[in-house]
Structure 1
Amino acid sequence: MAVLDSSDFSVTGCCFAHMLQGDTGEEADAVYEHTLTPTAFFKSRIAFNFNTLLWELTRQDGTVFGFPDGGGVSNPGQAALRAVTNRTGQKLTFTRAGNGNLTTITSSSGRRLTLAYDGSNRVTSATDHTGRAVGYTYNGQGYLWKVTDPEGGVTEYTYDGNGRMSTLKDARGLVFLTNEYDFEDRVIRQIQADNSEYLFAYTEDGGGAVIQTDVTGPRGFVRQVTFNAKGYILTDTRAVGETEEQMVLLTRQSGTNLPLSLNDPLGRETTWTYDSLGNVLSETRLAGTGGAVTTTFSYEPNFQQVASVTDPLQHTTTITYDSLGNPVTITDPLQHQTSMTYNSESQLLSLTDGESHHTQFTYESTDLVGV
């Protein structure tokens, strides 16, 4: 497979910037890899599975999200999520009507959530397998108006003329939040139940992206947060302009936006290094000083879980895993070992600590019922 740059493939609103392409050059033979954001989906891949006939997005932790092919569908719901399977085989199945509306979510244990809709394809109720239901009603403009919880409590929402949420009223009849907006539909004022308020001010770059937000709290103190071009925090300053002002400063890795260093309000610096998969390899506190101390990490290859931690005094803790990624032993620097066993559902059955103290766990279906 060849690695192609982002000009070879693009998805609106997506961060899969590289295509690993098969020999045929066909789309269904391609593998798309996420490379641009420091989230749980960093280095995840999408590829078509010819057995399930689904596009499968696989994260490094082994979780797989399945989507049907979207070619030729007129309704986005028809190409929406169908299944989520974790590395131990436990699965959530998403069942949809012909128009794409999600009707049920079912777990491997048989627990389920059932959704009902009105004629405008709006969810009117969500009912779990025990019969507990949450109800949803809408106003004349089609906006969510009331949410009724299983105990009969009602939360209400109102909107301004532009369809922006104005007030939220809880089940006690208390209006606990009121919003006001600017001409770009951003919240500029929030009033709490006790009439205290928060004010929000935004600074944009030449392209209209917000690069700074100032939040003034009820006591008049200002918190100022600045962002880079991708929207990630660079600085976070509290009590701006006061003698108590405190700033946290972050630097980030180009491309991935993983944090490389953090300077706290006392000027102390912490730095991090990473491997190519975004795993932290080292953390150094008091970096750049004679008192710098470093902790290092290593990872197992299957699900990128921590395999060892070595502290600044070179004391190492190691962790081993079974084929499903369940930790089976933890060995501390003094070679005291804790061991674990699991059932076929990867539920913890027993734990034996370094002093041979034994704990057992019992379950009914997915529920822990005894220790």
Structure 2
Amino acid sequence: MTDAEGYVTTFTYDAMDRVVTMTDAKGGVTRYTYTDHGEVATKTDAEGYVTSYEYDGNGNLVSKTDPDGYTTEYTYNALDLATKINYNDAKEVSYRYNKTGDLVSMTDWLGTTTFELDLLHQMTAATDHAGKRVEYTYDGVGNQTSIKMIWRSFATLKKLPLLLY
């Protein structure tokens, strides 16, 4: 593969057509190993640093350990949707879904972001922990037609003339 600047990256594959090595333009080789079920088990970069991955019986990533030994753990619900990510530094992200499997909220160390959806499961709005809101509209066939960003509430805007005097 040649990028826009003319640098070439080459790949080798195993009998299952999975990438085994990737050689970058400077000759650095990244190596991959796989589980019996075909998921990436390890990635060894050009400097010899290893990242390892573990999966559950459904093929969901349940842990990733980086070269420094930091582990990130992942939890899933019965629908195999991620419900929680625990980072090594004790930070956590959790996800909540409606009964049809649509993401309705995400909570991290900063707070909760909520998502609103229409009957076609298209996101119509997202509001973050600080009240910043993004609204989306769609045409009759589901193409996104607009994005509206709302960063200030009406109460905040009412105070603006007072600041200008």
Q: TM-score, normalised by structure 1?
A: 0.38
Residue 126 of structure 2 aligns with an amino acid whose one-letter code is: V
Give 3-state SS (helix, strand or coil) of 2:43's partner: strand
Partner of 1:62: none
Q: Deviations over 1:184-203 (max 9, x none)?
A: 32210111225x21211112
Cα distance, 1:233 vs structure 2: 5.2
Name 2:65's counterpart in structure 1. 148
Q: What is the identity, as a one-letter code, of the residue corresponding to 2:104?
A: I
Alignment of structure 1 residues 73-152 onto 2, 5 Å: 84-152=1-69
Instruction: Tell me if structure 2 keeps the 8 A contact 1:139–1:145.
Output: yes
Q: Which residue of 1 aligns with 2:161?
A: none
**1:193 and 2:109 correspond:** yes
**Matches of 1:127 and 1:184 in 2, distance apart?**
39
Residue 91 of structure 2 is aligned to residue 174 of structure 1: yes
Counterpart of 2:154 in 1: which secondary structure?
A: coil
User: What is residue 242 of structure 1 aligned with on the other side?
Assistant: 154
Pairing of 1:307-326 with structure 2 (within 5 A):
none
| Cα 1:88–1:141 shift into 2, 3 Å | closer
Match of 2:99 among 158, 170, 183: 183
Match of 2:117 in 1: 202
Task: Please give the root-mean-square deviation of Cα atoms over the aligned residues, in Å.
Answer: 2.5
Larger RCO: 1 or 2 (CA < 8 Å, sep 6+): 2
Are the structure 2 counterparts of residues 107 and 219 from structure 1 closer, same or farther at C-alpha, using a change threshold of 3 Å?
A: closer
Classify 1:129/1:238 alpha carbon distance in 2 versus 1 (closer, same or farther; 3 Å): same
Shift of 1:241: 7.1
Q: 3-state DSSP class of the match of 1:113?
A: strand
Listed one character per residue, the Cα deviations across residues 108-132 of structure 1 (whole Å, up to 9, x for unaligned) are: 3211211001111110011112101
Larger Rg over CA atoms: 1
Give the 3 Å change call, closer, same or farther, for CA 174–244 of structure 1 in structure 2.
Answer: closer
* SS class of match (1:218): coil
CA contact (8 A) 1:225 1:237 kept: no
Structure 2: give runs of 5+ residues left out of the alignment.
Answer: 158-165
Report the AA paired with residue 200 of structure 1.
F
Deviation at 1:173, TM superposition (A): 2.9
Alpha-carbon distance, 1:227 to partner: 3.9
The amino acid across from 1:188 in the alignment is V
Q: Is the 8 A contact 2:75 2:83 kept in 1?
A: yes
Contact 1:103 1:114 in 2 (8 A): yes
* Closer/same/farther in 2, CA of residues 96 and 222 from structure 1, 3 Å limit: same
The answer on whether the counterparts of 2:134 and 2:147 sit within 8 Å (CA) in structure 1 is no
